Amino acid sequence: MKKLIALCALLLSFASQATVVRVELDKAAYLPDELVQATVKVSGYTDGLAGFEFDLSYLLSKLSLQSVTFGPHFSPFEPNETWFSQNGGTLTLAEMNYLDFAEDLAAIQGPEFTLVTLSFKVLKAGVHKLTLSNLLLTDAFFGSTLEDVTVENALVNVAGEVPAPATALLLLPALLWLGRRQRS
């Protein structure tokens, strides 16, 4: 009986693969003044996505927006309607395809594709959140909104620079120990 229940659970897990929208970073850690490349991707939806709109929030005192690049997976033929606006530390990003069929969109999107790529300049050390909210994904069949979408945010880890005096203080006990050892 346990094997039957495990088999049913396994089959249901394959059948109910959820759509995931996540923010991926190009590196695990950064230094101040470096550029962070954050890519917002969709995975788990293969029927052809026709549009999206979402907010991405960040702290203006920690990160500075440098560029926004849409796509390239929303049309075999360009251009689409794209727009973004910024209100403080919140970006609203959107793209819509009104012309292509669902089959054409599904063919160029595949099981994972990029919605938008953002570039930020790091201003301060610390851990900074890139948070997605107000997410709206539209299918290409009827313009319906997708349900059961999982969101995965990102944390930008920025290491602080170690000041030179602090490094010298860390070495001081070892230097004193070596000096005492040579005198003996």
* pLDDT digit string (tens) for the chain, length 184 residues: 444 444 444 444 444 458 999 999 999 999 999 999 999 999 999 888 889 999 999 999 999 999 999 988 777 666 678 899 999 999 999 999 888 788 888 888 889 999 999 999 999 999 999 999 999 999 887 778 888 899 999 999 999 754 555 666 666 676 676 666 666 6
In a domain, 131, yes or no: yes
In a domain, 12, yes or no: no
In a domain, 9, yes or no: no
Q: Which residues are registered as beta bridge partners of 41?
A: 22, 114
In a domain, 80, yes or no: yes
Q: What is the pLDDT of residue 78?
A: 61
The number of distinct structural domains making up the chain is 1
Q: What is the pLDDT of residue 14?
A: 42
Q: Report the CATH number that the domain containing residue 132 is assigned in CATH.
A: 2.60.40.680
H-only helix segments in the chain: 2-15, 102-109, 164-183
Q: What is the pLDDT of residue 80?
A: 78
Classify 138 as helix, strand or coil.
strand
Cα(33)–Cα(41) distance, rounded to whole angstroms? 25
Closest CA to 42 of 159, 151, 142: 151
In a domain, 181, yes or no: no
Provide the domain limits for residue 57. 19-161
Closest CA to 22 of 108, 107, 109, 135: 135
Closest CA to 16 of 8, 26, 6: 8
Beta-strand (E) ranges in the chain? 19-25, 35-43, 49-57, 63-70, 81-87, 90-96, 112-122, 126-139, 149-152, 154-158
> Any idea what the Cα angle at residue 46 is, between residues 130 and 95, rounded to 5°?
50
DSSP code, position 145: B
On whether the CB atoms of residues 118 and 38 are closer than 8 A, the answer is yes
In a domain, 180, yes or no: no
In a domain, 108, yes or no: yes
> Dihedral sign, CA of 58, 63, 65, 69?
negative
User: In degrees rounded to 5, what are phi and psi of residue 170?
Assistant: -65, -30
Q: What is the pLDDT of residue 3?
A: 46
In a domain, 182, yes or no: no
| Residues 74-99: tens digit of each pLDDT | 776 666 788 999 999 999 999 998 88
DSSP code, position 70: E
The amino acid sitting at 1 is: M
